Amino acid sequence: MARGPRLDAPGSLHHVIVRGINRRKIFEDDKDRENFLARLGQVVKEEQATCFAWVLIPNHAHILLRTGTAPLGKLMKRLLTGYAVSFNLRHQRSGHLFQNRYKSILCEEDSYLLELIRYIHLNSIRAGLVQDIDELDRHRWCGHSALMGIQNRPWQEKEEVLSYFSQREELARRKYRQFVFDGITLGRRVELTGDEVRRQGGKKLAGKPLRRLDQRILGSGAFVEKLLAEEERKVRQQTPIKRKWINVKEFIDIVGEKFGITTEEITGGGQRHSVSLARSVFCFLASKDLGLTGRDLSRALGLTPAAIHYAVLRGEKFLAENQEVKVGLYEYLNILTTSP
C-alpha cells in the first residue's frame, strides 16, 4: 500500500530519514556538514523542537526529533530548502538535491526513544565511517560524540537522554556508552526504519484481516490504533464530504486499486473473496458517506437490495478492523469530491 500522508501532533517523536536524489551525496565535505548542522540547530531552537540523535552519512541523514508547537513539515521545509539552496550555490549545481519526500516515522516515545538513539548513532559504524566505539566517541558527524561530552552541540538534548542512565553525569555517560556498545551486534534493525512494517503492511487486503500496521508509525498496537483513529477524525473534520457530488465510477476504481483488483471485477458480480470484500467496502462508504441509496448501488453494481444490505454490513466490519485502510479511503473521498 502506498505511503500515506505524514502524521504529526505537537510533542510527537519522529525518526526522520533524508536521502539524496538518485542516491547522490548530500554532503561533499566538512563545510557542507557544518552548514547542515548549523541550520538544524537554528530551526530546532526557533521551532521549539528537541533533537535527541542525528547522524550524517554522505548520501543521507537520520534525525530524531520531538516537535514543539510547529509541525514537523514546517521545520523540515526550513531545514532542507535552505540547505539545498546553499549547497547548490556553493557547488555550482542546480536541480533537486533531496528525494522529493523525506521519510518520517512517528514513534511511541516511552518504548522506543533509547533504542532509536542507539540505532541512529550506530549508523556511523554500519556505514563504515568509523570502525569501533572508540572512534565513534570522537566522531564529529554523529550526535553520540555530543552525548559523550567530546563535541559541543548546544542544540542537541543531552541531559534528558543521560538521565535515563543515571543522575550522576559521569556514570550516566559510562552506562550510555555501554548501551550503545551492546547494540553493535544487533545489526540493521529494519523495524526501527519502517521497512519491516512496510513489508507486513503490504500484504494483500483479501483473506486474513490485516494487522494494524502502518509504515508511518512505530509503536504498540494500541498506539498505532489511537493515531490512526485520530487521523481519520481529522480527515473527516477538516474536509467534509460533499454528498453525491462525486464520480462513483472513479471511486470504484480507487477501491479496486486498494484491493489489487479491477473495476470490472467489482461491478461484474464475481464472488472471489477479494472481489466481494472490495465490493462490500465500496457499498458501505457509498451508502454512509456519499449518500447513495440502495437503489443507486443496485443500479451501479447489478445486485439485489438484499445483497447490497449484507455487503454494507461486511464492509463496515472490515473497515472497523482495518483503520489504516479506512483512513486512506476517506482521504481519497475528500480528494475526489467536488462541488456541483
Tell me: pLDDT of 340 over 70.
no
The domain locations on the chain are 13-191, 218-336
CB count within 10 Å of CB 191 equals 13
Query: Would you say the C-alpha torsion 88, 72, 164, 119 has a positive or negative sign?
Result: negative
Please determine, for residue 175, whether its predicted confidence score (pLDDT) is greater than 50: yes
Tell me which of 53-67, 263-277, 296-310, 323-337 is least confident. 323-337
Confidence band for 221, pLDDT divided at 50, 70 and 90: low
Decide if pLDDT at 107 tops 90: no
Question: 218-336 sits in which CATH class?
Answer: mainly alpha
Check whether 181 has a pLDDT greater than 90: yes
| Cell numbers at 212, concatenated | 494494524
Residue 20 reports pLDDT greater than 80:
yes
C-alpha cell at 237: 473534520
Residue type at 329?
A: L
Whether 199 shows a pLDDT value over 70: the answer reads no
Partners of 20 in beta bridges: 98
**Full-model pTM:** 0.62
CB 328 within 8 A of CB 258: yes
Stretch among 103-107, 140-144, 213-217, 271-275 having the lowest mean pLDDT: 213-217
Average pLDDT, the chain: 81
**What is residue 233's predicted lDDT score, i.e. its pLDDT?**
62
Quick one: pLDDT at residue 139?
97
Strand 217-218 versus strand 103-107 pairing type: parallel
Q: What letter represents residue 245's amino acid?
A: W
CATH T-level assignment (fold) for domain 13-191: Alpha-Beta Plaits (3.30.70)
Q: What is the mean pLDDT of residues 22-28?
A: 94
Determine the pLDDT at residue 9. Answer: 72
pLDDT at residue number 37: 98
Between residues 259 and 16, which one has the greater pLDDT? 16
**Given this chain, do its domains 13-191 and 218-336 carry the same CATH topology?**
no
Q: Which residues pair with 60 in a beta bridge?
A: 19, 57
List Cα–Cα distances, 11 to 22, 114, 115, 281, in angstroms. Answer: 32, 17, 19, 35
Distance of alpha carbon 33 from alpha carbon 39, whole angstroms: 10
Measured at the alpha carbon of residue 159, what is the angle toward residues 77 and 129, in degrees to the nearest 5? 60
Instruction: Write down the pLDDT at residue 235.
Output: 54
Identify the weakest region by mean pLDDT among 34-38, 55-59, 207-211: 207-211
Residue from 52, 66, 75 nearest 14 by CA = 66
